[in-house]
A = this chain, B = another copy of it.
Amino acid sequence: MKTHTLLMPLDMHLHLRDGVMLEQVAPLSAYTFSGAIVMPNLVPPVSTVEDVKAYKQRIMAAVPNDYFEPYMTLFYKNYDKRFLESVKDHILAIKLYPAGITTNSEGGVSSFNIEEMRPTLEAMSELGIVLCVHGETDGFVMDREAEFMSIYEMLASNFPNLKIIMEHITTKAAVDMLERYPNLYATITVHHLLLTLDDVVGGMMMPHHFCKPIAKRPEDKEALLKVALDAHPKVMFGSDSAPHPISKKEACGCAAGVFTAPIALQLLCEIFDKYGKLENLQAFVSDNAQNIYGICPEFKEIVLEEREFEVPAIYGNVVPLYGGKKIKWAIQSVE
């Protein structure tokens, strides 16, 4: 049987939520991942040292039996340097949301006035705090990411020493930016390597394929696949796994988010194997992130095997991507 071993897989963009949902989903990530960057868009958002510490404790309490490192983040606001110094040892990055652009982002940035943001972003540059960005404008849904490229250009050129991560990129426009600024990096989800808008509204309307940014055109998916399969050194895996209870997905006014945490590595093996690029998966799911963020996760070894696996129809009250469907790779062992 064909197997593939991954060391210290990292999920560089993860939503763990809080409370009962946290307890439900955190163990699923902790089972196969060494660590994950945990998004701060709780209600209210994670924005103080106390918030960060308390949230990290709640996460650790939810995953008692596995080694798992939650890399904490802060919700972007214009913070002063003194505060950033006090918080820097507790976080790996600050996550910037344009106001209202996705789940629980109402307190985000409402106008990209570079001079208002300068003190914060310069302090972050000096302190080596990474800036993670949800890069979408409030324009037409298929254009939102491409329209945001000018803001990435403004940020990247004004703050050349700031590491900026274009989160969950979905377009060829974003892929092309990787070559243009040395300080721009990107995460890519597994669902954006699999889906286009056709899978969301091309046949029936599929709520479990609905996320933000929305899956784009076939040529966009191809561009993402190319840099992911090549394990371009500036791209990392970030699942953007975003659980919502089924009552909020299979409903009028379905919430945005695809839940992939428990099947992400299996699907990645399937994709990379399909294209004959399994040898690059280690870099995509761990090594690139270690280099970009300068982190050294503790040892964890996952062996996957090529074997038909039926994705559970539901985990608790959360329907995963491909729930009830068969995929081609499965977890063999975790050490």
Contact = CB atoms under 8 A, between A and B. Distances in A.
Interface of A: 140-142, 196-198, 200-202, 204-208, 210, 214, 217-218, 249-256, 319
A141 B206 contact: no
Contacts of A201: 141, 200-201, 210, 214
A197 B210 CA distance: 13
A286 B286 CA distance: 64
A333 to B, nearest CB: 33
Copies of this chain assembled into the complex: 2
A198 B141 contact: yes
B250 A206 contact: no
A202 B141 contact: yes
Contacts of A141: 197-198, 201-202
A205 B217 CA distance: 18
Contacts of A142: 142, 197, 217
Chain B CB count within 10 A is highest, among A201, A202, A208, for A201
Contacts of A214: 201
A210 B198 CA distance: 13
Contacts of A202: 140-141
B210 A254 contact: no
Nearest to A251: B250
Contacts of A196: 140
